[in-house]
Every structure is written in C-alpha cells, then in structure tokens.
Amino acid sequence: MSERNWSTFACPNPACSVYGQVGQSNLRPHGWSSKPRGIRCLRCTACGKNFSERKGTPLFGLHMSDEKALDIAHHLVEGNGMRPTGRLCGGTLNTVLRFARKAGDHAQRFHDQMVRHVQPQQVQADEAWSYVGKKRQEL
C-alpha cells in the first residue's frame, strides 16, 4: 500500500514555527490510531508534536463510522430534521446533534477562512430554504 501524500497537511500546533503552513515537508507518518483503526498519526519534525490526520476535521474524535457521519450529513443537508435523521441513520438524537454541531462549526471556520474581501452589492438567498421562515414557532 502506498503512503499518502501529506503535502496538503499542516502542523496544528499554534506554538510551532510552521503552524498552519502546508508544503513544508515537516510531517512524517508516526503510527496508527488504535481506535478508530486505520487513522494515520503524524509527527511534525519542526515541533516534535504528534497529531491525528483528522485533527481539525469534523471526523476528529468521532465514535461512529465515516459512513454513518456522511449519512447524517446528507440527511441534514437535504433538510431532514434532527430526529428523523437519527431514525433514518440508526443513531440517537444526541448523536445527530453532536455531529451537526461539529460539522457546522467546521463549515463556519472553512467559510471564514475562504470567503474574504467580498463586498457584495446584493445577496440572493436560495429559495429552496425559504421554508425556514415558516418553521418559526408561533408564540
């Protein structure tokens, strides 16, 4: 089995001299996680810290399979509620809520990193989600 290319990964240690910088050739495979299996551990040669290849992703620290996490994300993206998503994916409401929070936080960070210096003259919200306004609970 060939080893993956780590050139798109970066050291997640804020105290490291090459923190967040990709293509620095500072990362080396350093064993595997025991649980879940098959997750690569990496070592930064600049700071000597070890970390999971999943650090900084919504999959980091999950206690479910990747397939289940993807399933939950697909159902939520299609507009299914938290409880129906749990029933359809074979998970509990809390499992869905925790993963939705993780994925949402990650999406927020990704958006904030990627979308910069935009000065929109107009904003058109997607009509597909206009029903959200109708879901507000009447008092």
40: which strand partners?
32
27 near Zn ion (CB under 5 A):
no
**Given 6, 39, 43, 47, the residue binding Zn ion (CB under 5 A):** 47
41 near Zn ion (CB under 5 A):
no
88 near Zn ion (CB under 5 A):
no
Asked if 79 contacts 87 with a C-beta cutoff of 8 angstroms, the reply is no
Phi, psi of 65 (to 5 degrees): -70, 160
**Given 9, 10, 11, 76, the residue binding Zn ion (CB under 5 A):** 11
- When the beta carbons of 47 and 97 are compared against Zn ion, the nearer one is 47
Helix, strand, or coil here: 27? strand
Q: How far apart are CA 28 and CA 19, in angstroms?
A: 15
16 near Zn ion (CB under 5 A):
yes
Residues that bind Zn ion (CB under 5 A): 11, 13, 16, 44, 46-47
